[in-house]
Amino acid sequence: MEKFLLISAGAIFGANARFWIADWAAQKWGTSFPIGTLLINISGSFVLGFFLTLITNRVTLDPGWRLFIAVGFLGAYTTFSTYTYESLSLIQQGQWVSGLLNLFGSSLAGALAVTLGIALAKLF
């Protein structure tokens, strides 16, 4: 139950941070380009890479922090950060095919899935 609460608490903050940043960016630069989403994806990727490297190689933290920040906060803030971190990790481990397949496959499959979802929704 403690893990569930840590993840849930992090997710509350992450979802609200995502909303706040997207709203702020829309007010500042308009909505013709999703700059808020771009900022969220890039900052989330940076924070995940920094945090996981820090707690894996440099600092010993209670495992609950990983659940709160990496799974909860960043999971709600952006899943893009997880996808890019995992892809890069595979590439750094020498698993180029798997890393590139995840990186480009997720982008292509995601775009196709959105297209399919749009097409299906238009049928209703």
pLDDT of residue 33: 82
Per domain, the residue ranges of the chain are 2-122
Phi, psi of 95 (to 5 degrees): -95, 65
Q: Is the pTM of this model over 0.85?
A: no
Distance CA 65, CA 47 (A): 13
Cβ-contact 9, 71 below 8 angstroms? no
Q: What pLDDT does residue 77 have?
A: 95
Question: What is the 3 state secondary structure string of the chain?
Answer: CHHHHHHHHHHHHHHHHHHHHHHHHHHHHCCCCCHHHHHHHHHHHHHHHHHHHHHHHHCCCCHHHHHHHHHHHHHHHCCHHHHHHHHHHHHHCCCHHHHHHHHHHHHHHHHHHHHHHHHHHHCC
Provide the pLDDT for residue 119.
83
With a cut of 50, which residues of the chain have pLDDT below it?
A: none
Whole-number pLDDT of residue 31: 87
Q: How far apart are CA 29 and CA 27, in angstroms?
A: 6
